[in-house]
């Protein structure tokens, strides 16, 4: 997939997994916004979502908000 | 598709808060008493975390002690400048494993600045996230893994869990 969008059938040949298993994983990846898909004739073509890094940022954005809130609470407690 | 470096990839995560404490205390709690506030769920050990430690020197280790007696490295102190600045290498790869290569690690830069009222402004910047390679190789890893849930998906665990629920 790093060489370009690929249909599921070709991915299934490339990985030691069944085609339904690949499809299942791709659905999860899609819901996590890591891949995008589009219809090309009768088949679905998947590609890496260039916004994957944006998802990583979003994760850390949320993580640091919670972590720093915990830090602030602790720092403001009595010594 | 060739992944070029996305503009968003190089935009760091930035967070600022103000803490009602002196810079000395803020730095001490953040760095030396790291264990007292670090989220207990955030470690990469196999057993539950017992203690989270940042060694107070440049080149120091960032690690957790686990309840099974093992230590688990997750970072390195890049800048130790009390009470004003601490920079850590975030050495966790897409498989939740320790990444020894600093060139494949992100950085967490935290600055502590005294305010006129005696409180402290804390500015955190988590940068070079793209070094973790959350790109095509991460997706490949996720697909290739035996259960399909390792790899980068673990990094997005909270998000995936939210979608799935």
Please list the residues that pair with B111 across neighbouring strands: B85, B123
Q: State the fold for domain A1-48.
A: Arc Repressor Mutant, subunit A (1.10.10)
Q: Tell me: the pLDDT tens digits for B43-66?
A: 888 888 899 999 999 999 999 999
- pLDDT above 90: percentage of residues in chain B: 55
A interface test, pick of B1, B38, B124 with most A CB neighbours within 10 Å = B1
Subunit contact B139:A64, Cβ cutoff 8 A: no
- Domain extents for chain B? 13-129, 133-165
Mark B18-31 as b/e (b = at least 16 C-beta within 10 Å).
Answer: ebebbbebbbbbbb
Stronger pLDDT, B68 or B3, i.e. the higher one: B68
- Domain extents for chain A? 1-48, 51-79
Locus of tokens 């009390």:
B82
Put simply, whether the predicted model's pTM sits higher than 0.80 gets the answer no
Sign of CA dihedral A71, A72, A73, A77: positive
Q: Tell me: the pLDDT tens digits for A39-69?
A: 888 877 777 666 666 767 777 888 899 899 9
Using the 8-state DSSP alphabet, how is residue B106 labeled? E
ipTM computed for the complex? 0.74
Q: What's the order of all strands across the beta sheet hosting B13-19?
A: B13-19, B120-127, B106-114, B85-90, B71-81, B61-66, B49-54
Q: Which of B13, B19, B26 sits opposite A60 (nearest CB)?
A: B13
CATH architecture of B13-129: 2-Layer Sandwich (3.30)
Q: Six-digit token pair at A77? A: 């407690």
Q: How far apart are CA A53 and CA B94, in angstroms?
A: 12
């Amino acid at each position: 997939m790093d060489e370009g969008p690929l249909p599921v059938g070709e991915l299934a040949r490339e990985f030691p997994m069944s085609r339904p298993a690949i499809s299942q994983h791709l659905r999860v990846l899609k819901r996590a916004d890591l891949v995008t898909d589009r219809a090309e004739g009768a088949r679905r073509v998947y590609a890496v979502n260039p916004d994957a890094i944006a998802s990583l940022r979003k994760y850390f954005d949320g993580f640091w908000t919670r972590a720093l809130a915990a830090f602030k609470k602790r720092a403001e407690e009595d010594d | 598709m060739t992944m070029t470096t996305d503009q968003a990839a190089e935009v760091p995560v930035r967070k600022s808060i103000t803490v009602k404490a002196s810079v000395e205390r803020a730095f001490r709690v953040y760095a030396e008493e790291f264990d007292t506030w670090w989220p207990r769920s955030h470690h990469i050990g196999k057993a539950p975390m017992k203690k989270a430690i940042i060694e107070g020197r440049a080149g120091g280790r960032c690690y957790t002690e686990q309840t099974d007696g093992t230590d688990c490295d997750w970072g390195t102190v890049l800048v130790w400048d009390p009470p004003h600045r601490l920079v850590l290498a975030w050495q966790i790869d897409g498989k939740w494993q320790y990444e020894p290569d600093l060139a494949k690690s992100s950085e967490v830069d935290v600055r502590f600045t005294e305010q006129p009222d005696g409180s402290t402004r804390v500015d955190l910047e988590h940068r070079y996230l793209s070094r973790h390679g959350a790109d095509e190789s991460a997706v490949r890893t996720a697909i290739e893994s035996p259960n399909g849930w390792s790899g980068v998906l673990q990094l997005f665990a909270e998000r995936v869990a939210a979608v799935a629920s």
